[in-house]
Amino acid sequence: MSGFFGNIAKTDVVFPVFYGTDYHSHLGTKRAGMAFYNKKTGFQRAIHSLEDGYFRTKFEDDLKHFEGNSGVGVISDTEAQPLVTNSHLGKFAIATVSKIVNAEELEKEFLDGHRTFSETSQGSVNPTELIAMLIAEGHDFVSGIENVFSKIKGSCSILILTENEIIAARDKLGRTPVVIGKNGNGIAVASESCSFANLDYEINKYIGPGEIVRITADGVVQLRAPDKEMQVCAFLWVYYGYPPSYYEGINVDEVRYRCGASLAKNDDVEADFVAGIPDSGVGHAMGYSNERQIPLTRPYAKYTPTWPRSFMPQTQDKRDLVAKMKLIPNPALIKNKSGVFLDDSIVRGTQLKDNTRDLHAEGIKEVHMRIACPPLTYPCEFLNFSRSRKSIELATHTAINQLKGTEEVDLEKYSDPESEEYKEMVERIRKNLGLTSLKFQKLNDLVNAIGLPKEKLCTHCWDKSSHF
């Protein structure tokens, strides 16, 4: 995924943008950038790779060269951004949180029209440049952003920095959040509301799906009203979001607590302790532990001084090694005991299998795994969540292939927790991962834990119900 932060104020915003963007580091792993505008030097920009370091250390040396009362920053899983571009709309910097499923189709349309791309991203066009070109087809920023909404398949939220303002637009179906914060000095806009608190901003507004606003230091003006239909990603609360953040006014960690409590109400396993797989599993485990009155312990310590994120290395074998090394089991808490472990999801299951093997090596008696969401049956089309190019990489599809010898099956049956196919699939996943028992959250219970109507949530990866 990716996350962005913008700030416009009556004073210099370089440090607020720096710190605000840094609070999105859990959302991106590959590239980051910041852009500022001031009347003396115009647009300033810096972009760095995060594959061999952290946002803070990569950008600290740039700060003394920046100045401006307005700026944007972004941390991305994919392309280098923000981009500074020029068009008939004027010069502007642009940052996006997006996944464009039909990028190749749109690229071909532009090339057939004798248009030129100057940026590349992982061997293809830079999605943010593609979005900037679609915006430039409009007669103003609003019609240009509407052009983006009408032509792309996937999702796209946008920050545009001009000489006088920041324009913010949320994905047409609201799959990714955009939140506005205010204080007496100016206005901030971000993907994660947790970036506001330590910068003395308070949540002022959740931008609606398809809504476009103009932001100046004096206020926010709506340029396009929000659409009624919304499909915000439910996985934001389960996994992506940082615990203090709010989406649609609903706190991330409160949802995780309710998810864990819901799993506990549907469970009767006997255990000596409950534990969360760090980090996102911890909130779920708290809810489970309090509901069942089973002690919450920490049988795993997360070692983060060197490699806080297991997916930073470029090769899978290195990612697997880092994932193994960052979680250190504590034999004093697990030897000859039974434990219930809470985690946000199972994607491929590689890391979980290694963790389970380590627990058994340290003498644990039983490993009961409880997952805060249903089995991931359909690869994400909208947010780059699973990072799986092939659906067979999902643990569910691996199990189905082992059971049936093919993926050509009715996946709807495997998404129904009452079906025999579902039960067979879960049992095979359990065996593949070496678990004593395995249970997934039911979709209705997850929806209830979030607290929004199901039609307002994107649940595509569990039931393929969402659309472009």
Residue type, 463: D
Query: Nearest CA to 121 among 137, 99, 136?
Result: 99
With bands split at pLDDT 50, 70 and 90, how would you rate the model's confidence at 3? Answer: very high
Fold of 255-450: Rossmann fold (3.40.50)
The per-residue pLDDT for range 70-102, each reduced to its tens digit, is 999 999 988 899 999 999 999 999 999 999 999
Percent of the chain at pLDDT exceeding 70 = 93
Query: Nearest CA to 31 among 85, 96, 84?
Result: 96
Q: Per DSSP, what are the bridge partners of residue 158?
A: 96, 169
Q: How far apart are CA 362 and CA 359, in angstroms?
A: 5
Which contacts qualify for 197-203: CB closer than 8 Å, 24 or more apart?
Answer: 197/244, 198/19, 199/16, 199/19, 199/20, 203/179, 203/246
pLDDT for position 315: 58
Yes or no: say if 24 and 192 are a contact pair by the CB < 8 Å rule: yes
Label residue 450 left, alpha or beta by phi (over 0 means left) and psi (-120 to 50 means alpha): alpha
Residue 403: how many CB atoms within 10 A of its CB?
15
Give residue limits of the domains in the chain: 2-230, 255-450
pLDDT for position 310: 44
pLDDT for position 362: 92
Residue 431: how many CB atoms within 10 A of its CB?
12
Mean pLDDT of all residues in 105-118:
90
Q: Find the distance separating the first CA and the last CA of the chain, reported in whole Å.
A: 18
Mean pLDDT of all residues in 171-196:
97
Q: How far apart are CA 391 and CA 109, in angstroms?
A: 28
- Residue 364 has φ and ψ, to the nearest 5°, of -65, 150
With bands split at pLDDT 50, 70 and 90, how would you rate the model's confidence at 311? Answer: very low
* pLDDT over 80 at 390, yes or no: no
* pLDDT over 90 at 219, yes or no: yes
Q: How far apart are CA 31 and CA 314, in angstroms?
A: 13
Fold of 2-230: Glutamine Phosphoribosylpyrophosphate, subunit 1, domain 1 (3.60.20)
C-alpha dihedral sign at 142, 148, 151, 153: negative
**Tokens 């189905």 -> residue:** 400
pLDDT for position 324: 62
Cis amide linkage into residue 82, ω under 30° from 0: yes
Query: Nearest CA to 415 among 467, 375, 454, 379?
Result: 375
Quick one: tokens of 35? Answer: 């852009």
The per-residue pLDDT for range 254-294, each reduced to its tens digit, is 999 999 999 999 999 999 999 999 888 999 999 999 999 99
pTM for the whole structure: 0.93
Query: Nearest CA to 429 among 463, 403, 461, 405?
Result: 403
- Mean pLDDT computed over every residue of the chain: 92
Q: Strands 90-100 and 300-302: what pairing? A: unpaired
The per-residue pLDDT for range 342-383, each reduced to its tens digit, is 999 999 898 888 889 989 999 999 999 999 999 999 988 888
With bands split at pLDDT 50, 70 and 90, how would you rate the model's confidence at 213? Answer: very high
HEC sequence for the chain: CEEEEEEEECCCCHHHHHHHHHCCHHHCCCEEEEEEEECCCEEEEEEEECCCCCHHHHHHHHHHHCCCCEEEEEEECCCCCCEEEEECCEEEEEEEEEEECCHHHHHHHHHHCCCCCCCEECCEECHHHHHHHHHCCCCCHHHHHHHHHHHCCEEEEEEEECCCCEEEECCCCCCCCCEEEECCCEEEEECCHHHCHHHCCEEEEECCCCCEEEEECCEEEEEECCCCCCCEECHHHHHHCCCCCEECCEEHHHHHHHHHHHHHHCCCCCCCEEEECCCCHHHHHHHHHHHHCCCECCCEEECCCCCCCCCCCCCHHHHHHHHHHHEEECHHHHCCCEEEEEECCCCCCHHHHHHHHHHHHCCCCEEEEEECCCCCCCCCCCCCCCCCCCHHHCHHHHHHHHHHCCCCCCHHHHCCCCCHHHHHHHHHHHHHHCCCEEEECCHHHHHHHHCCCHHHEECHHHHCCCCC
* pLDDT over 60 at 309, yes or no: no
Quick one: tokens of 450? Answer: 């979030």
